[in-house]
Amino acid sequence: MQQQLMESFVANFGEGGEIYTFFAPGRVNLIGEHTDYNGGHVFPCALTIGTYGIVRKRKDRKLRFYSQNFDKFGVMETSLDDLVYRKEENWINYPKAVIWAFKEHGYEVTEGFDFACVGTIPNGSGLSSSASLEVLTSKILIDLYGFQEVDMVKAALYSQYAENKFVGVNCGIMDQFAIAMGKKDHAIYLDTATLEYQYAPVELDGAKIVIMNTNKKRGLGESKYNERRQECETALAEIQKVKDIKALGELTEEEFEAIKEEIKDPIRVRRAKHAVYENQRTVKAVEALKNHDLTLFGQLMNESHISLRDDYEVTGKELDALVEAAWKQEGVVGARMTGAGFGGRAVSIVKADQIDAFVKNVGKEYEEKIGYQADFYVVEIGSGPVCFAK
């Protein structure tokens, strides 16, 4: 992978100078979905798959980009004097966004670079290829331009800022945080209201994390994502008229039930209910994992999917087909959609010796129902970004 990337780097940008290789992981969220912009908890982990980038500083202000995943665009060139969003520039808006976000926070890059990358996470499919590229760029800026005061929590925040303010997707902090702060074999229990976090060992007692890809691209997802966010904000404002809270994540299930009639629209009641219950489920799930109660952890994953399907309405027929097929299989601890939803991926925990049968049966049922194939990957939990070779 890296060898091939180095060859494309040299082919596109020539040899010589100081060339560095970086890696940033992708992430999967085990539970706590659509809670991160509601001041709730999330429980994601970084993966050993992610984005590799090879980079060399330049003496002028040019920025040149090449991605093996977007070979059709060839080398795209821009400059530090043109840090504005341009739709036609496609994927390079993400690294541009991060350079811009660093500048906005007082860390200005004054010399450009040549950059070639390749992602081992397919884009647009729910394992956060965009956040991976953002955090990768942050790590490059910190290491190559000497912005050592920017620690990895700040790098996550600047990357989120880049996505919110430059790309225009109103995402929460989960993806960037999970990627920037990843730790091998651990998930991150993050309180998104305070950014306090703990690492929890993921001990699955002979089971593995299996990602299921619907192969349905998100399409309308981004506008729907912003719509859900807006619905939660409106529900919160209605509750705030009678109760002094800052976020839906502050409420217990009982408190929510007692106050929910303040929300004047039945759809918004369901959206807010998901935000509150999903947060509480996440707290319970982390406790269950600590107590080695994998059965309860799995049940909570399943309940999370049901809530995302029925109350939050972000699953869609493809994710439901995968997850509902998964639930029926032997050796399945739990299964749910992961990430924003509207297509993309689901995550399941499956006993290792049952994985082959699982893939075969779920794959068959999915294809019969949906008309095309799903993909399955067994993934490992990895660490945060690194610069690992000169």
Contacts with ligand GLA by CB under 6 A lie at 33-34, 36-37, 171-172, 174-175, 339-340
| Residue number, 55 or 308, with CB nearest to ligand GLA | 308
Distance in Å, CB of 130 to ligand GLA, minimum = 8
Cβ-contact 130, 163 below 8 angstroms: yes
| Residue number, 5 or 28, with CB nearest to ligand GLA | 28
| Residue number, 95 or 341, with CB nearest to ligand GLA | 341
Is 128 known as a binding-site position?
yes
Q: How do strand 375-379 and strand 196-201 relate by DSSP bridges?
A: unpaired
Residue-wise burial string across 34-73, b where 16 or more C-beta atoms lie within 10 A, e elsewhere: bbbbbbbbbbbbbbebbbbbbbbbeeeeebbbbbebbeee
Cβ-contact 126, 344 below 8 angstroms: yes
| Residue number, 33 or 365, with CB nearest to ligand GLA | 33
| Residue carrying the six token digits 């997802």 | 221
| Residue number, 36 or 311, with CB nearest to ligand GLA | 36
Distance in Å, CB of 361 to ligand GLA, minimum = 28
Contacts for 335 with CB less than 8 Å, ≥ 6 apart: 212, 301, 302, 305, 322, 323, 326, 327, 346, 347, 348, 349
Q: Is residue 162 left, alpha or beta, with left meaning phi > 0 and alpha meaning psi from -120 to 50? A: alpha
**Which helix (DSSP H) or strand (DSSP E) does residue 230 occupy?**
helix 221-240
Is 129 known as a binding-site position?
yes
Strand partners, 231: none
Distance in Å, CB of 228 to ligand GLA, minimum = 9
Distance in Å, CB of 37 to ligand GLA, minimum = 6
Is 34 known as a binding-site position?
yes
Q: Over the Cα atoms of the chain, what is R_g?
A: 21
Is 163 known as a binding-site position?
yes
Distance in Å, CB of 136 to ligand GLA, minimum = 16
Distance in Å, CB of 44 to ligand GLA, minimum = 9
| Residue number, 56 or 270, with CB nearest to ligand GLA | 270
Strand partners, 219: none
Distances in Å between the Cα of 36 and the Cα atoms of 219, 234, 388 are 22, 16, 31
**One of 175, 244, 265, 311 is an active-site residue; which one?**
175
> Is 82 among the catalytic positions?
no
| Residue number, 34 or 281, with CB nearest to ligand GLA | 34
Distance in Å, CB of 4 to ligand GLA, minimum = 29
Structure tokens at 223: 């506008």
Is 36 known as a binding-site position?
yes
Distances in Å between the Cα of 366 and the Cα atoms of 128, 150, 298, 304, 310 are 23, 45, 21, 21, 20
CA geometry: angle 220, 222, 224, nearest 5 deg: 70
Is 35 known as a binding-site position?
yes
Is 124 known as a binding-site position?
yes
Report d(CA 118, CA 178) in Å as an integer.
20
Strand partners, 349: 209, 334
Binding-site members are 33-36, 67, 124-130, 163, 225
Binding-site members for Mg(2+) are 130, 163
Binding-site members for ATP are 67, 124-130
Q: Which residues carry out catalysis?
A: 175
